[in-house]
């Protein structure tokens, strides 16, 4: 006889009880093995969404998810490690310039990334638009690349937190994605199992983010920072704005091109600002705050690290990036100032153009996406391009334009609502 059963655990959480360590260990393990059915775990996930968890419960749940698989160990590397996790947004290509930048400063970056779903783009989808680049690396290949280049961006292997993989898919189809204990344990179980020494979290807030309001985002950040601390990983979180999309592009190859501009010392100011801010946090957390990442962007060493990282994963950093077969220009209806640009509207348009996927098995178009030619506060001229939409399938333009409709406004400079990119820091 088992010490526990699923119904007893569901009932305890339904009735607002705290789950014991042994109940949590048992249910996560039994679900991973298939002894607890999907409908039972769905019921428990909904009870957790509605009734919450105490900090001890969340820490134990995270530990049980980690224990479901392997743990990586980077202690043999000749340099310290730091990683970054973003909760996802529109035009959020920050990982691409950030990993080689931090590597150029002497800290190794083991970045296990994912694919896009819905309106938020996936880092692996972006990099796969580079000819030849591959996402799948063995643990040995990852270790060798971290030692030689200092940065890896690749897919997580099946061995890390398999409980999370199973539970993540279930939350997606049962309306329980928003549960903060489950979001926090999902993110942190993978990052702690990955074995990084320091972790910086970029928790996005606003229309294009998973968390729409600052209070919920701060709660999530505080829970994740506490989980990192409990696990002995130096963890810091930045709350950053995602009401307006980042940079000037959303779409896979389009965002790679913009990232390369940043590594070349140019690029949009907001992308540079956030990349450097996160790099400074990662370096400080790893004990290397004697190096200024802005210098490494300026002297070309971050670009060298980018090219070495892409080549190490069989990509050609000098090859032309794919472009979409069709484009459509939206012009400014009047002269004035772009007062608002909604991240969600842009993200949905890029998704509908083919840059994202509705189901995880869907293909994505490398060249699809949206370019915006002005950011809020910029002057625009009647008849001049405001957006350029890119796709291989012209039938997609109509629905993408419908997504953008109402997502932007041209008016007077006085109407611009300025939001700082960096909202708060939680350590």
- Which residues are annotated as catalytic? 85, 164, 171, 186, 190
Asked whether the beta carbons of 136 and 14 are under 8 A apart, the reply is no
| Alpha-carbon gap, residue 354 to 337, rounded angstroms | 29
List C-alpha distances in Å: 241 to 170, 250, 345: 29, 16, 15
Cα 92 to chain center, whole Å?
7
Tokens 């050609």 belong to 316
76: helix, coil or strand?
A: coil
Q: How far apart are the C-alpha atoms of 343 and 346, rounded to whole Å?
A: 5
Contacts of 396 (CB under 8 A, 6+ apart): 352, 353, 354, 368
Cβ atoms of residues 289 and 280 within 8 Å? yes
Residue 126 to residue 103: CA distance in whole angstroms: 20
Q: Distance of CA 341 to CAs 37, 381, 404, Å?
A: 44, 16, 9
Report CA Rg, the chain.
22
Rounded Cα distance between 178 and 202, Å, is 17
Beta carbons of 322 and 146 less than 8 angstroms apart: no
- Cβ atoms of 50 and 207 within 8 Å: the answer is no
């Amino acid at each position: 006889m088992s010490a526990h059963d699923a119904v007893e655990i569901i009932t305890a959480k339904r009735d607002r009880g705290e789950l014991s360590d042994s109940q949590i260990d048992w249910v996560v393990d039994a679900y991973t093995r298939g002894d607890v059915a999907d409908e039972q775990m769905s019921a428990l996930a909904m009870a957790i969404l509605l009734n919450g968890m105490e900090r001890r419960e969340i820490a134990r749940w995270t530990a049980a998810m980690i224990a479901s698989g392997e743990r990586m160990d980077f202690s043999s590397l000749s340099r310290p490690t730091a990683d970054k996790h973003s909760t996802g947004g529109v035009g959020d290509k920050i990982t691409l310039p950030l990993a080689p930048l931090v590597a150029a400063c002497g800290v190794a970056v083991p970045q296990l990334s994912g694919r896009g779903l819905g309106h938020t783009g996936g880092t692996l989808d972006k990099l796969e638009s580079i000819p030849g680049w591959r996402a799948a690396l063995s643990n040995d290949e990852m270790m060798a690349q971290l030692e030689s280049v200092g940065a890896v961006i690749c897919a997580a292997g099946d061995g890390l937190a398999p409980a999370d993989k199973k539970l993540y898919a279930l939350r997606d189809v049962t309306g329980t994605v928003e549960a903060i204990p489950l979001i926090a344990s999902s993110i942190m179980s993978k990052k702690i199992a990955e074995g990084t020494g320091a972790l910086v979290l970029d928790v996005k807030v606003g229309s294009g983010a998973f968390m729409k309001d600052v209070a919920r985002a701060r709660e999530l950040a505080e829970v994740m920072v506490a989980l990192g601390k409990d696990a002995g990983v130096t963890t810091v979180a930045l709350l950053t704005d995602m009401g307006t999309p980042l940079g000037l592009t959303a779409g896979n190859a389009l965002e790679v091109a913009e990232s390369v501009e940043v590594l070349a010392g140019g690029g949009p100011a907001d992308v540079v600002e956030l990349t450097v801010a996160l790099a400074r946090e990662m370096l400080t957390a790893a004990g290397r705050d004697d190096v200024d990442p802005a210098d490494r962007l300026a002297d070309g060493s971050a670009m060298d690290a980018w090219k070495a990282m892409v080549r190490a994963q069989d990509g050609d950093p000098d090859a032309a990036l794919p472009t979409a077969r069709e484009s459509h220009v939206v012009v400014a209806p009047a002269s004035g100032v772009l007062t608002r640009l909604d991240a969600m509207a842009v993200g949905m348009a890029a998704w509908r153009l083919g840059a994202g996927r509705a189901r995880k098995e869907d293909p994505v178009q490398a060249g699809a996406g949206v370019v915006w030619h002005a950011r809020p506060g910029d002057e625009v001229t009647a008849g001049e391009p405001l957006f350029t939409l890119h796709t291989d399938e012209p039938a997609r333009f109509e629905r993408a334009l419908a997504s953008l409709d109402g997502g932007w406004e041209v008016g007077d400079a006085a109407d611009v609502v300025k939001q700082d990119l960096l909202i708060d820091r939680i350590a």
